[in-house]
């Protein structure tokens, strides 16, 4: 069980398995929605995600086709997205919203064509 929450802690959730298929997405929509250079999401079957508190504060934005991005309407934290045709029973979770430790086997970078021009400078002082 891995717990997660938004910035203001109004929304609290639990995932019942480790996040799978971890992806760092560099598309413009993820950059804008996260306000970050890229967004890292891991996916779980929808049945493995439990919203424990603040479900009513979860807002949805239809960003493209059948894709919905969900965020806390109080603090703006980007939390989930779902609606992929291929994986309609799955939901993706913004890994930075998780509060417990967990294992990430590997990270796949996608939509690299739109990566930010300063990305190479990011890791330099880590
Ligand atoms: Zn919040
Ligand atoms: Zn993206």
Of residues 14 and 125, more confidence is placed in: 14
CA distance 119 to 96: 18
Which protein residues have their CB within 5 A of the ion that is ligand 2? Answer: 25, 27, 30
Distance in Å, CA 120 to ligand 2 centroid:
19
Average pLDDT of the chain is: 96
Smallest-distance ligand from the CA of 26: 2
H or E stretch covering 63: strand 58-64
- Band the pLDDT of 124: cuts 50, 70, 90: confident
Name the closest ligand to CA 74: 1
Closest ligand relative to 30 C-alpha:
2
**Span 73-102, pLDDT tens digits:** 999 999 999 999 899 999 999 999 999 999
What's the CATH code, domain 2-113?
A: 2.170.150.70
């Amino acid at each position: 069980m891995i717990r997660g929450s938004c910035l203001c802690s109004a929304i609290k959730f639990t995932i019942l398995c480790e996040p799978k298929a971890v992806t760092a997405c560099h598309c413009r929509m993820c950059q804008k929605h996260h306000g970050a250079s890229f967004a890292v999401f891991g996916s779980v079957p929808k049945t493995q995600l439990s919203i424990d508190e603040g479900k009513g504060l979860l807002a949805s934005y239809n960003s493209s086709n059948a894709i919905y991005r969900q965020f806390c309407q109080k603090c703006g934290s980007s939390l989930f997205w779902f609606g992929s045709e291929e994986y309609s029973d799955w939901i993706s979770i913004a890994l930075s919203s998780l509060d417990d430790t967990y294992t990430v086997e590997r990270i796949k970078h996608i939509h690299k064509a739109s990566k930010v021009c300063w990305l190479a400078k990011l890791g330099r002082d880590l």
